[in-house]
Structure 1
C-alpha cells in the first residue's frame, strides 16, 4: 500500500508553512491587545522590573506574567522589535507541532504523526495567533506539550514524563490561568478513564508531578503576591484589598464564567461550536465528522478499550467545549488550546478512512475541500486586490507561482487521501501568504500609532519630547518609539507642554485643543481606523474615506 503522506510532501509543506510564519513575523503590531501586550513586556525590560504588570499607568490584573516575561527576555537578548516580540510565540508553536506529532504517534502510529503537525500548523487560528500575538500561542504550545507528556506518564508511569508534564502545565497556567489546567485535566482524565489506569492517580510519582506544577507556577504566584497581596491599599478596578493570589487561583476563571467584572460577550451557547468553523479552517468540517464518528464508535463499543482507539481527542474535547459554552464571557481564541488536540483527532480519523478504504467518504471530503478552498481563495484574492492597490511585481510573481503549484497538485494523479491532505494545507499556505504580504501590510497603513512613529523616526524627532492626549493610549506609538509616551490632560495642556514639544492626538481631541486656542507650527495628518474591527465601508475603497478617523502629530508653538 502506498504511504499516505510521502516524506517529500511534508518536507515541502513544512518549508512553505515556515515561509508563511516568517512573513507574519515582520508585520507591525496590531492594536489593541497585541501592541498593548508588547508595550507591557517592553516596560518590564526597560525598567528591569519583572514582578509588576501595568497597563499604561494602571495596575494590571488580568493575564498572568509568562507571556510578558518571555517577550521581555526576548527583548533583552535581541532588542526591541516586533519580530523579537513574536519569537516566543513561534517557539511554542513549534513545541505544539512536535507535541501533536508525538501524541498522534502514540495513538495512531507513525503515519498519522506528520499529518497531525500539518493540520495544526495550517489551522487559521494558529497562523493568526503567531502574528497577532497575545497569550494564546504560549498557552497552546504548553498545553499540548503537557497533555503529551502526561499521556506518556499515564502509559509508562515514568517520573521524567510526570515532571515534564507538570512543568508544561505550569507554563500554560502561567500564561492564561486555569483554562490550561481544565483543558489538559479533562483530556488526560478521559484517557485514564478509557485505559482504566486509575492506579496512576495514587502513585507517589503523581505527587512529584503535581509538586513540579506548583514549582512551575510559583514565580507567577510570587509576583501576584508582591504586587497585590502585599499592598492591600492598591486600587484595582475601583476596589482595595484585592488579592492577586485569589484572583489567579479562583476569581479569574469563575468571573469569566459568570461575567462578573466582565461585560457579557455572547449568550449564544453554540458560540464556540460555530466559531470553530473558521478558527479550525480548513479542517473544521472533517473535525466535526471525526468527532461524531468517534463518539458514535465509543458508544457502540460501550467505552471498552480497543487498540488504535482513544477518547482523549473526542469525549475530552467535547466535555471542554460544552463546559466553556456556558461561560458568559466568550472570545474566539479560547478555542486555541483545543486545536492541537483536534489536530490529533483529525489525523487519526483520516488515517482510519484511508486504511479502511472508505473511498466514498474520502472522495466526498476531497471534492468539498477542493471546492471550498478554490472558491475561498479566488474570493479572497479578489477582495485583497480590490481592497488595496496591486502589490509589487515580485510579490505578484510569487502569488502566480503558488497558484500554478495549486493547479498542478489538483491535477496530478495521486491517491485521493494524500491529495486531500496536501491540497488542504497548500491552499492555507497560499491564503495566508497573500494575507501576510498584501492584506495586513496595507491594512496597517491605517493604524495611526505605528505610522506616527515612522514620522518621528523619519523627521528625527526626539521621542522624549512626544506626548499624547490623555484617555486614549496608542500602544503602537509607545512600542515603535520604545517609550511609554506620557498622557497629558487636554485641559492642562497649555501649562504642561513647552515650546517645540510634540503632541499626538485624535480628531475629537484636536477639536478640544482648538477651543483652548493652542497653537502649533507643524502638523502631520495620519489616517486611522480600528483595524481589528473591519466594516464593509472600510473594506470598500470607494467608501473608506467616510469611516476613516484622523490622528495628528503637532509641534507646539509658544510665544
Structure 2
C-alpha cells in the first residue's frame, strides 16, 4: 500500500479485514421483513418461473421499483441457489464497486493528497451503507452505480475519451434501472456542480454528448421494454415521470414526514460515525464559497458540497421521505469529510473534533453493549471482553495514527467496525428469530413435509415464509378455502376464516424493523408479541 498521510499500513489492513468480516456476517443474517424479504421473494419468483419480464408482489402485478435489483438477485440465485447469501451478493458487489469509485474520484479531485482509500473506508463504514449490505433493498445497487457514474463523468470531462462518456451514461442507466429517476437526479446535481465551477459547459453543445446519451439509452432500454411488456404505455409513463412525481407530491405513495429538516437530522445516524465532522465540513466549505463569492480557486472543488446542498434541498421538498434515500449521496459526503479533515486550515479545530469522536464512539459501543444485555437479559462475558478489546484496539491504534486527523479517522472507523461486529454477529441474528414468518418457514422445512397443500390467507402477506420455503405460496380468499388445506395467516386474521380449523403451529411474531423499548425489555416483551400461525381447515 502507498504510504498514507493518515493511517499506517497496519491500520489500513485492520480496517479492511474488519469491514470484510462485517459484511460477511451481514450476509448470514436472516432477511428482515418487510422490504428485504419482499424483494427477495420477488427475485426468487423470477428464478423459479423463468419469467424475468414481469414483476409480481405475491400474486399482484408490481408497479413501483424497476427491475435491475430483482434481475441481479434472481441471476445470483440461478447460480448459487435460493438463499439469502445469493440474494445479497449483487448488493455486496455493488458496494465494492462504489468503494473503488469513491477512491478513484477522490484521487481525481485531490491528486496530491494520496488518501482516496480513506474516503472509500469512510463510505464502507457509514452506518446506512453497512445496513444496506444485509437489509438489502434497491439502495446498494443504486449507490454503487451513482458514484461510478459521477467518477466516469468527471473523467470524461477532464480527458474527453469517448468510453468514459459511454460507460458514465451506462452506469447512470443502471442506477435508473434500480430505482428510477432519483439516482439520476443525484448524478445530475453532482455533474452540474462540477460543470458550474469548472465552466466546462461546452460539453452540452459538443458531439461527444452522443456517447453519454447512447450509453444511457442502451442501459435503460431493457427496463423500458419490460415495463411496456407488462403494463403498456402506462408502465413507461410511470417509470419516467409518475414514480418520481408520486413521491415528490405524495399523490401515489402518501406522505411520511412533513418536517423540512428531516434529511438534515437523519444524517446524524445515516452517516455515523463521522456525521459531526461532516456538519463542520459542510459549514466551513459553504462559508468559504460565500466569502469568495464562488470565485474559482485551483485547489478547490465544489462537486461534493454542491451535491450536498442540491440533493438535500431538493429531497427535502418531497412529501415521501426515508433515511435510506440519502445512500446515493454518501460516497460524495465521504470524499467531502476526508478532504476537509486533510486541509491545513482545519488543524485548529481537529482536537475538538477528536474529543467529539471519542465521545461518540464510547457512547455508541456502550449503548450497543447495554442493548445486547437488555435484549437477551443475559450477561455475556464474551461481549464484555469484546468491548474491552475494542477500546484497547482504539488506544493502540492511536500510536500509529499520523496527526490529529488520522486519530479522528482511526477512532471513528475502528469504532464503526466494532459496533457493527456486535450487531451483525449477535443482535440481528437473535432479533430475526422473532419474525414469525421466518421461524414458521424453518419449522416447515424441518418437518420435510409436502408444501403443495399450504396456502396463505389474503392480507396475511408473509414474505419471509415464501422465501425460506423457496415457494410462491398461493394466496387464497377465506371463501375459497377447502377442507384439509393448511393456511398461513396472522392471528389477527383468524376471525376472517369463518370455518372450523385446528391450529397446527404458532410462532411468536414482531415487526422487528420497528423496535420499541417494551420489546427490547425481556420482562415486557411477551405483551408486544403477536403470532404467525398455520391452521388446518376442517
Report TM bin, short chain: over 0.9
- Give 1:215 shift: 0.6
In the aligned structure 2, how far is the partner of 1:76 from the partner of 1:206? 37
Q: Counterpart of 2:76?
A: 74
Whether contact under 8 Å (2:132, 2:139) holds in the other structure is yes
In the aligned structure 2, how far is the partner of 1:302 from the partner of 1:436? 47
Q: Counterpart of 1:233?
A: none
Q: Counterpart of 2:154?
A: 151
- Give 1:414 shift: 5.2
Structure 1 residue 9 corresponds to structure 2 residue 11: yes
- State the SS of the aligned residue for 1:476: helix
Whether contact under 8 Å (1:100, 1:344) holds in the other structure is yes
Q: Counterpart of 1:111?
A: 114
In the aligned structure 2, how far is the partner of 1:368 from the partner of 1:255? 40
- State the SS of the aligned residue for 1:464: coil
Give the counterpart of 2:209 among 206, 211, 225: 206
Whether contact under 8 Å (1:295, 1:315) holds in the other structure is no
In the aligned structure 2, how far is the partner of 1:460 from the partner of 1:296? 65
Q: Counterpart of 1:543?
A: 524
- State the SS of the aligned residue for 1:260: coil
- Give 1:6 shift: 2.3
Q: Which runs of 5+ in 1 are unaligned?
A: 230-241
In the aligned structure 1, how far is the partner of 2:188 from the partner of 2:331? 15
- Give 1:417 shift: 1.6
Task: Give the 5 Å matches for 1:402-417.
Answer: 402-409=390-397, 415-417=403-405
Give the counterpart of 1:330 among 321, 327, 336: 321
- Give 1:314 shift: 0.3
Q: Which runs of 5+ in 2 are unaligned?
A: none
- Give 1:292 shift: 1.5
- Pair 1:541–1:42, CA change in 2 (3 A): same
In the aligned structure 2, how far is the partner of 1:383 from the partner of 1:369? 21
- State the SS of the aligned residue for 1:175: helix
In the aligned structure 1, how far is the partner of 2:263 from the partner of 2:375? 30
Q: Counterpart of 1:49?
A: 51
Q: Counterpart of 1:296?
A: 287
Give the counterpart of 1:476 among 435, 459, 464: 464
- State the SS of the aligned residue for 2:175: helix
Summarize deviations over 1:136-178 as a string: whole Å, max 9, x none.
0000000000000001111111111101101100000100111
TM-score computed with the length of structure 1 as normaliser: 0.92
Structure 1 residue 19 corresponds to structure 2 residue 21: yes
Give the counterpart of 2:139 among 132, 136, 144: 136
Whether contact under 8 Å (2:365, 2:387) holds in the other structure is no
Whether contact under 8 Å (1:17, 1:121) holds in the other structure is yes
Summarize deviations over 1:93-130 as a string: whole Å, max 9, x none.
00100011011111113523012101100100000011
Structure 1 residue 458 corresponds to structure 2 residue 449: no
- Give 1:483 shift: 0.4
Whether contact under 8 Å (1:469, 1:505) holds in the other structure is yes
Q: Counterpart of 2:336?
A: 345
- Bigger shift: residues 197-206 or 252-261: 197-206
Structure 1 residue 446 corresponds to structure 2 residue 446: no
Q: Counterpart of 2:421?
A: 433
Whether contact under 8 Å (1:111, 1:351) holds in the other structure is no
- Give 1:407 shift: 3.9
- State the SS of the aligned residue for 2:504: strand
Q: Counterpart of 2:198?
A: 195
Give the counterpart of 1:506 among 469, 474, 490: 490
Whether contact under 8 Å (2:369, 2:383) holds in the other structure is no
Give the counterpart of 2:365 among 371, 377, 382: 377
Whether contact under 8 Å (2:257, 2:320) holds in the other structure is yes
- Pair 1:360–1:203, CA change in 2 (3 A): same
Give the counterpart of 1:320 among 285, 295, 311: 311
Whether contact under 8 Å (1:104, 1:347) holds in the other structure is no
Whether contact under 8 Å (1:190, 1:311) holds in the other structure is yes
Whether contact under 8 Å (1:157, 1:200) holds in the other structure is no
- Bigger shift: residues 267-276 or 196-205: 196-205
- Give 1:465 shift: 2.3
Summarize deviations over 1:406-439 as a string: whole Å, max 9, x none.
3433577853221111110001111111111111
- State the SS of the aligned residue for 1:302: coil
Give the counterpart of 1:101 among 95, 100, 103: 103
In the aligned structure 1, how far is the partner of 2:82 from the partner of 2:54? 19
Whether contact under 8 Å (2:247, 2:254) holds in the other structure is no
In the aligned structure 2, how far is the partner of 1:32 from the partner of 1:278? 21
Structure 1 residue 517 corresponds to structure 2 residue 500: yes
- State the SS of the aligned residue for 1:29: coil
In the aligned structure 2, how far is the partner of 1:131 from the partner of 1:510? 33
- Give 1:506 shift: 1.8
Give the counterpart of 2:408 among 420, 443, 458: 420
TM-score computed with the length of structure 2 as normaliser: 0.95
Summarize deviations over 1:360-381 as a string: whole Å, max 9, x none.
3110000000011101211221
Whether contact under 8 Å (1:255, 1:261) holds in the other structure is yes
**How many positions carry a matched residue from both structures?**
535
In the aligned structure 2, how far is the partner of 1:334 from the partner of 1:361? 31
- Bigger shift: residues 203-212 or 174-183: 203-212
Superposed CA RMSD in Å reads 1.9
Whether contact under 8 Å (1:391, 1:438) holds in the other structure is no
Give the counterpart of 1:531 among 505, 512, 515: 512
- Give 1:315 shift: 1.8
Summarize deviations over 1:46-77 as a string: whole Å, max 9, x none.
11011100111111110000000000110111
Whether contact under 8 Å (1:4, 1:111) holds in the other structure is no
- State the SS of the aligned residue for 2:508: strand
In the aligned structure 2, how far is the partner of 1:460 from the partner of 1:391? 36
